[in-house]
Amino acid sequence: MASDWVDFRAVKQTVSMEMVLSHYGIALRRVFSSRLRGRCPLPMHSSNESSQSFAVETNKNAWACQSDSCAGARSGRIGGNVLDFVAAMEGCSIREAALKLHRWFALRSADRVGDPAWLISTDKKKSVPEAGHSGTAIGECNVENKPLRFELTGIDHSHPYLATRGISRETAKTFGIGAFSGRGLMSGRVVVPIHDHAGELVAYAGRSLKGEKPRYLFPCGFRKSQVLFNLHRLADCGRHSPVIVVEGFFDCLKIHEAGFPSVVALMGTALSGVQQKLLEDHFSSVVILLDGDEPGRAASSTIGDQLIHKLFVRIVDAPAGLQPDQLSVHDIKLLLRGIART
């Protein structure tokens, strides 16, 4: 910021703890309507016994960690406000924390604490996975994914892991994926930005690099069933160009790498009602290319039956036991020969 003046009160009124947790990729479980709980994310937390010691009171916009080791490292302070949290996470002063929040969230006077876009879970009728669990579609829920108001920075698009998956730096940059070494739940993982059909960034998924469980992490409350990964990039492809439908992120990346940019990923094997409508609204024909295992074959047939009434459907079988991302570019081109490259 150009000025040295910082309005601490305005920052605390504008930025909620849930916004900051989302910025760091920290997922907590909701135990009451206004309370979140989970593992303490603070770098000074050293206790292995108090694994669920961190709590956030959303109605007070305050947090606390009951671990003696954590409080001891903060001169006995159990918790604090959003500025105290960022200062502890970043190892900086309160003023520096306020400046970071201004920069991260591009604060405006119209912003409000507790904006629903930042709620970790607003659906009280459905259970959500706890922190550290892989995300799964939670039924045919019509609650939309809210746009994020931040972007992760310092993503390494040239990490060696991507090359082992056959993904070039150019493709990684196009999709915004790469290794993330910052703080938070996604630290040490390859992060994949997920946008809705309008191009709004709604989530990051994190892929483990060294076999950590779960293999993929999704934010609590994120609904895969509401999104087709990569759809927002296909606006210029034209309705009459076929779209290739695959299961996973790396399937999508590899198909793109092979010269077929009109490709979307389900992020699973099920086609939700929302995803079906997105396909019907944007395309006239689809090519279904799921994994070459028994679940993939069964899902291809089911999805074909869902779409056949309104779209021209072609099912392409991947080689038995293989996923599209495990194929060479040459093999993908052979498999998709005759498919238009938009």
pLDDT at 28 > cutoff 70: yes
- Confidence at 76, pLDDT banded by 50, 70, 90: confident
DSSP 33-100: TTEEEE----TT---SS-TT-EEEETTTTEEEE--HHHHHHTTT--EE-HHHHHHHHHT--HHHHHHH
- pLDDT 10s digits, 103-148: 776 554 333 333 333 323 223 233 333 333 333 333 344 568 888 8
The pLDDT score that the predictor gives to residue 103 is 76
Which comes out higher in pLDDT, residue 121 or 31? 31
The pLDDT score that the predictor gives to residue 140 is 40
Task: Return the SS3 of 13.
Answer: helix
Domain with CATH 3.90.580.10 in the chain: 8-118
Domain with CATH 3.40.1360.10 in the chain: 231-335
First to last CA, the chain: 44
| pLDDT-above-90 percentage for the chain | 48
- pLDDT 10s digits, 247-285: 999 999 999 999 999 999 999 999 999 999 999 999 999
How far out from the chain centre does Cα 252 lie?
16
Give CATH for domain 231-335: 3.40.1360.10
Average pLDDT over residues 212-217: 84
**CA atoms within 13 Å, Cβ hemisphere of 272:** 20
Give CATH for domain 8-118: 3.90.580.10
The pLDDT score that the predictor gives to residue 82 is 92
pTM: 0.63
Domain over 160-220 is classified CATH 3.90.980.10: yes
Domain with CATH 3.90.980.10 in the chain: 160-220
User: Which run of H or of E encompasses 244?
Assistant: strand 243-246
Do 295 and 318 form a contact (C-beta atoms < 8 A)?
no
Strand order in the sheet with 216-217: 178-180, 189-195, 201-208, 216-217
- pLDDT 10s digits, 284-307: 999 999 999 999 999 999 999 999
Do 233 and 149 form a contact (C-beta atoms < 8 A)?
no
The pLDDT score that the predictor gives to residue 331 is 95
